[in-house]
Structures are given as C-alpha cells and as structure tokens.
Structure 1
Amino acid sequence: MHTTEQTRYSDAELAEFRAIIEAKLATAREQLDFYLQRLAEQTNSEDGKVRGLDDGTSSMTNEDTHNLANRQRKLVQHLENALLRIENKVYGICRVTGKLISKERLRIVPHTTLSIHAKQNR
C-alpha cells in the first residue's frame, strides 16, 4: 500500500490556524496601538521634552518605545502575510524544504515560514 505524503494542510486545519492567527493579530494590533499612543503622548509632553534635555531619559524611553512599536509593526505584517498564505492554501509549507511545518511549531510561531530543520540549518 502506497501512502502519499501530505503536501498541504486541509481546509479544516487551515481554519484552525486562521483562528489562532486572527487572535494573535488582534492582540498585536492592540499592542501596536498602545505603543503609538504612548509615542504621541511622549512627543506632546512638555515635561518629556524638558526632562530629555536635562538627563536624556525621555529620549531613551522614546527610542525604546519606537523600537517596540517597530517590532510590533513587523509582527502584525508577518501575521497578515500568514493569513494571505492561508487564503492561497500554501500556509505551513516550509519555504526551504517544501515540506509541511509541524503543527506544534505553527501553533507556537504561527507566522513562521521555516520548519525547525530549515531554521537550524540556516
């Protein structure tokens, strides 16, 4: 008896991953909004501007928040790209090996495009 290796996840499996990604995306967007609001408040705060001139802590905090916002923006983009891969039914396929990425890995890092094997051999 010949068994063929699964080449893509089923529609039901893709629906499960879509739910995981949409939940993570909602959280990531909330966090990004928080950082952007915080940056706007820091920029508009006279106290922050004066303190920044005195000891540099305000500009350091501002830079940290910028870095967090940029990181969060990238995560949002990666998650949105994962949703596109689900729509195109190519989600969960390793871009190096062409084989399915394990469900366990996808549940932990749902926006990944590399299997553990491919990531370790980079």
Structure 2
Amino acid sequence: MNTDVKARYSDNELEEFRMLIEGKIDKAKKDLELIKSAYMNDGNNGTDDTSPTFKAFEEGSETMSKEANTQLAIRQEKFIRDLKNALVRIENKTYGVCRVTGKLISKERLKLVPHATLSIEAKNMQKS
C-alpha cells in the first residue's frame, strides 16, 4: 500500500456531503435574509401615542436589537462563506481531511459541522 496517498471520502460520499452543504447554504441564505429584513425594519410598532418613557425604552431596545441583528448577520455570512469553502474542498476531493492530522474527519462530525476542517483529535490538541 502506498503511504503517500491520503485517505479520502469516495466520490459518492462527497456527493452526499455536497447535497447536505448546498441545503444548509440555501437555509442559511434564507435565515440571513430574515435577519437583514428584521434589521431594515423601521421598528415603529405604533408607539407614537404612548408615554415618552416607553418610547425611550423602546428606542434603546431597538438599538440593542439592531446591534444583535448585525452580529447575527455577520456570523451568518461567515457560516455561508465557510460552507462555500467546504464545497471547494469537495471539488478538490480534500473535503473531510483534517488539516492538522491528515486523517479523515468522522462522518458524524461532518454531518453536525459540515464546514469542519479539524478532527476532534486536532481540535482537542488546540485546547491543551
């Protein structure tokens, strides 16, 4: 057996992962649109006729929720980018290979975290 050849997932397995990832990208894009539309919403919930104290409180919470939505949108955009990078690794047939150990990342881990580039073993090494 040639030890220079890295173990990799079969083309059929890579195709399964590609379909899983494309589905996650579609959902993530829809979620991002929801986050952005919530952010763009003017937030006027008809409080013009309520007490000034309540209006000030609402404006403060609106600012906080806009900041939270911005953070959510940034995380969602990064998630989409990471998933797209995983598709590139599938095309290159390097998907599922740990970038530290060179070993295959378990299917269970990839199904939970399809953009993972580290095996649990490598992830644990980082912590110590």
Matches within 5 A, 1:16-27: 16-27=16-27
Question: Hey, what does 2:37 align to over in structure 1?
Answer: 37
Per-residue CA distance 1:23-55 (angstroms, 9 max, x = gap): 1111111000111111111xx44569x99x823
CA shift for structure 1 position 68:
0.9
Q: Which has the larger radius of gyration?
A: 2
SS at match of 1:121: helix
1:114 maps to a residue whose letter is L
Runs of 5+ in structure 1 lacking a partner?
Answer: none
Question: Hey, what does 1:105 align to over in structure 2?
Answer: 109
C-alpha distance in 2, partners of 1:70/1:15?
28
SS at match of 1:112: coil
CA shift for structure 1 position 64:
0.9
CA shift for structure 1 position 3:
9.5
Checking the alignment, whether the CA contact within 8 Å between 2:43 and 2:62 is kept in structure 1 is: no
* Greater helix share, structure number: 1
Question: Hey, what does 2:121 align to over in structure 1?
Answer: 117
Question: Hey, what does 2:56 align to over in structure 1?
Answer: 54
**Is structure 2 residue 91 aligned with structure 1 residue 92?**
no
Question: Hey, what does 2:80 align to over in structure 1?
Answer: 76
SS at match of 1:58: helix
TM-score, length of structure 2 as denominator length = 0.82
Percent of aligned pairs with the same amino acid: 49
TM-score, length of structure 1 as denominator length = 0.86
CA shift for structure 1 position 121:
1.1
C-alpha distance in 1, partners of 2:62/2:107?
43
Question: Hey, what does 1:10 align to over in structure 2?
Answer: 10
SS at match of 2:100: coil
RMSD after superposition:
2.4
C-alpha distance in 1, partners of 2:37/2:91?
32
* Number of residue pairs matched by the alignment: 118
